[in-house]
Amino acid sequence: MTAKKKLPIGVQSFRKIRQGDYYYVDKTAFVLSLIEEGSYYFLSRPRRFGKSLLIDTFKELFSGNRELFAGLYAETRWDWSVAYPVLAFSFAGGVLGSVEALQQSLIAQLSQYEQQYRLEVPFAEINIRFKALVREAHAQTGQRVVVLVDEYDKPILDRIEDRAEALRLREVLRDFYSMIKDSDAHVRFAFLIGVSKFSKAGIFSGLNNLRDITVSPGYSAICGYTEKDLDTVFAPELEGLDRQMLRQWYDGYHWLGENVYNPFDVLLFFAERTIAPYWFESGTPTFLIKLLLERGVFTPELGRTIASEMLLSTFDVDTMPVEALLFQTGYLTVHRVEEIAGSRFFHLRYPNREVYQSLSICMAGAFLEDPSRESGLRLDLVRLLKAADFAGLERHFQALFAAIPHDWHRRNAIGEYEGYYASVFYSHFAALGLDIRVEDTTSQGRVDMAVLFEGRVLLFEFKVVEQAPEGKALAQLVAKGYADKYLDRGEPVYLIGVEFSRRTRSVCGFEVQEVQAG
């Protein structure tokens, strides 16, 4: 068996990986393909997906550092006799929380290159300095310039909740990036990479010649690890591991081409040898959960979202569609694409169990007045389900809703509807990672929620009544014959009607009926 190497956890330097006996998944075929096909590119990928390493790979290739590419695809396919001037900018480190901080970062990065090319700086404006630098680097080397920008959008995203400051940051970056197009005669190649895809009317209004490869099938695997990568590059790490569990938790990211695993998860899983939500816990933004609540998003629908191509491209400081935000940040991925009358519609889903379960845990906690109670309630729920203790389940539901702030419904768009109650229940059950079907279609209609758990089927119907229980929820389950679809499984099926009082905003009715086949 091939000897184990070091796991490049958090390593973003191509040189360090290639010289330090780390595992490396060769992405240089993608790199050469992009260079051959064009000059200006943009790519959006979730955080911790290897974007910085990809940018650094371009930097080392264009700089002509052949020794780092020994044995890789690019070694015998690149003209190493030419070294290009490379201007690489990064906003990945730290938080640039103000226009002043952003400007200082840009000046510091520009100054480094100005010193390298012994360039006098008669201009105070940052964008003019950038343009002059590109022109001078070309003049001194005789080769057109390569411009690389890592985490181009991070300064804005760091202050996305402060709209006024985010807009000011956007203007600074827009003016800066516009100089790339304005310097076209001096630019050999430009690549901007980040988490979000801002609309062309926003940050890219002055740089509208970029080719967006975010959902180009041929570049779906430009970041992340494929199944083949695990079988070959990481083969020494696979012995004794549950591959199916690995797939369920960390695979499933899809940008119209080949599926990829989350690389951050895979590396930490190999290091720790245990399943955990490594990526999710490394920095899920609190504003995302807050936004989902404020927008009144019907959480059971998140895993089967449909969005137009235009909607996914409208993200900006002023406009943040939930679908675009979840897709760009990696909480939803492409399941399939439907083309109708010349327009593309993206069917989005959760990429894997890590995201599905972890996001549900966050949402379940966000509904509560004291989010720290979520884990205790979750443990209580799984014990009751294992024991098929329906009397205890009724008390559990009552305790769950008692833990929700009384005025929650007035602060959220879905608070007056059955969808609100369904969202609370769905998030609570999904936090366990259970097999849940929401509004599952039967021959007679759609049951609100079906839960398949340890040889039992639980079918839930939710109804809002005025004050006292009316038996409507269970009656609908029986009348519609919702159990029929599940009886051939040979498992006990339980119909559970849950009613909520509009006045007291609590569980006022809870009925259970077991249905037997035949």
Residues 6+ apart with CB under 8 A from 411: 294
Confidence (pLDDT) at 406: 57
pLDDT of 408 higher than 70: no
Q: Mean per-residue pLDDT for 445-469?
A: 87
Strand, coil or helix: 515:
strand
pLDDT of 227 higher than 70: yes
Q: Say how far apart CA 228 and CA 26 lie, in whole Å.
A: 12
Q: Mean per-residue pLDDT for 250-271?
A: 97
Render pLDDT for 421-451 as a digit per residue (tens, 0 to 9): 778 888 899 999 888 887 665 556 678 889 9
- Which residue type, as a one-letter code, is found at position 11? V
Q: What are the Cα distances from residue 412, in Å, to 213, 272, 298?
A: 37, 40, 11
Categorize the per-residue pLDDT at 407 as very low, low, confident or very high, splitting at 50, 70 and 90: low
Strand, coil or helix: 474:
helix
Q: How far is CA 502 from the centre of its chain?
A: 36
pLDDT of 410 higher than 70: no
pLDDT of 48 higher than 90: yes
Strand, coil or helix: 93:
coil
Categorize the per-residue pLDDT at 346 as very low, low, confident or very high, splitting at 50, 70 and 90: very high
**Under a CB-based contact definition with an 8 Å cutoff, are residues 321 and 348 in contact?**
no
Categorize the per-residue pLDDT at 507 as very low, low, confident or very high, splitting at 50, 70 and 90: confident
Q: Say how far apart CA 355 and CA 250 lie, in whole Å.
A: 9
Percent of the chain with pLDDT over 90: 66
Query: Tokens 């029986």 appear where?
Result: 478
Strand, coil or helix: 4:
coil
pLDDT of 464 higher than 80: yes
Return the structure tokens found at 451. 């839960």
Confidence (pLDDT) at 292: 86
Ranges of beta strands (E only) in 361-482 are 435-442, 445-453, 456-465
Q: What are the Cα distances from residue 402, in Å, to 343, 347, 381?
A: 46, 36, 15
Ranges of beta strands (E only) in 362-492 are 435-442, 445-453, 456-465
Query: Per this entry, what is the length of the chain?
Result: 518
Q: How far apart are the first and last CA of the chain?
A: 56
| Of the candidates 242, 148, 151, the residue with the CA atom closest to the CA atom of residue 195 | 151
Q: Sheet containing 305-308: give its strands across.
A: 305-308, 343-349, 333-340
Query: Tokens 């938790």 appear where?
Result: 249
**Domains of the chain by start residue, with CATH:** 26-219 (3.40.50.300), 286-349 (no CATH), 368-515 (3.40.1350)
Question: Max Cα separation, the chain?
Answer: 89
What is the average pLDDT value for the chain, to the nearest integer? 90
**Under a CB-based contact definition with an 8 Å cutoff, are residues 159 and 166 in contact?**
yes
H or E segment to which residue 370 belongs: none
Q: Say how far apart CA 159 and CA 210 lie, in whole Å.
A: 25
**Under a CB-based contact definition with an 8 Å cutoff, are residues 476 and 459 in contact?**
no
Render pLDDT for 280-307 as a digit per residue (tens, 0 to 9): 998 777 788 888 888 877 777 788 899 9
**Dihedral in degrees, nearest 10, Cα atoms 123, 129, 131, 137:** 110
Q: Say how far apart CA 363 and CA 288 lie, in whole Å.
A: 10
Q: Say how far apart CA 84 and CA 62 lie, in whole Å.
A: 5
Q: What are the Cα distances from residue 362, in Å, to 99, 299, 488?
A: 32, 12, 35
Percent of the chain with pLDDT over 70: 95
Angle separating helix axes 390-402 and 418-430, nearest 10 degrees? 110
Q: Say how far apart CA 406 and CA 504 lie, in whole Å.
A: 9
Predicted TM-score of the model (pTM)? 0.91
Handedness of CA 239, 244, 250, 252 (dihedral sign): positive
Q: Which of 159-163, 340-344, 509-513 has the highest mean pLDDT?
A: 509-513
Ranges of beta strands (E only) in 175-326 are 187-194, 211-212, 305-308
Q: Return the HEC string of 173-200.
A: HHHHHHHHHHCHHHEEEEEEEECCCCCC
Query: Tokens 């009925």 appear where?
Result: 511
| Of the candidates 416, 275, 430, the residue with the CA atom closest to the CA atom of residue 359 | 430
Render pLDDT for 2-27 as a digit per residue (tens, 0 to 9): 789 999 999 999 999 999 999 999 99
Render pLDDT for 159-169 as a digit per residue (tens, 0 to 9): 988 999 999 99
Q: Say how far apart CA 108 and CA 129 lie, in whole Å.
A: 12
Q: Say how far apart CA 164 and CA 162 lie, in whole Å.
A: 6
Return the structure tokens found at 351. 């990429």
Categorize the per-residue pLDDT at 415 as very low, low, confident or very high, splitting at 50, 70 and 90: very low
Categorize the per-residue pLDDT at 414 as very low, low, confident or very high, splitting at 50, 70 and 90: very low
Categorize the per-residue pLDDT at 413 as very low, low, confident or very high, splitting at 50, 70 and 90: very low
Confidence (pLDDT) at 198: 85
**Dihedral in degrees, nearest 10, Cα atoms 247, 194, 316, 89:** 170
Render pLDDT for 189-219 as a digit per residue (tens, 0 to 9): 999 999 998 877 678 877 888 999 999 999 9
Confidence (pLDDT) at 501: 85
Q: Say how far apart CA 159 and CA 162 lie, in whole Å.
A: 5
pLDDT of 230 higher than 80: yes
pLDDT of 481 higher than 50: yes
pLDDT of 46 higher than 90: yes
pLDDT of 500 higher than 90: no
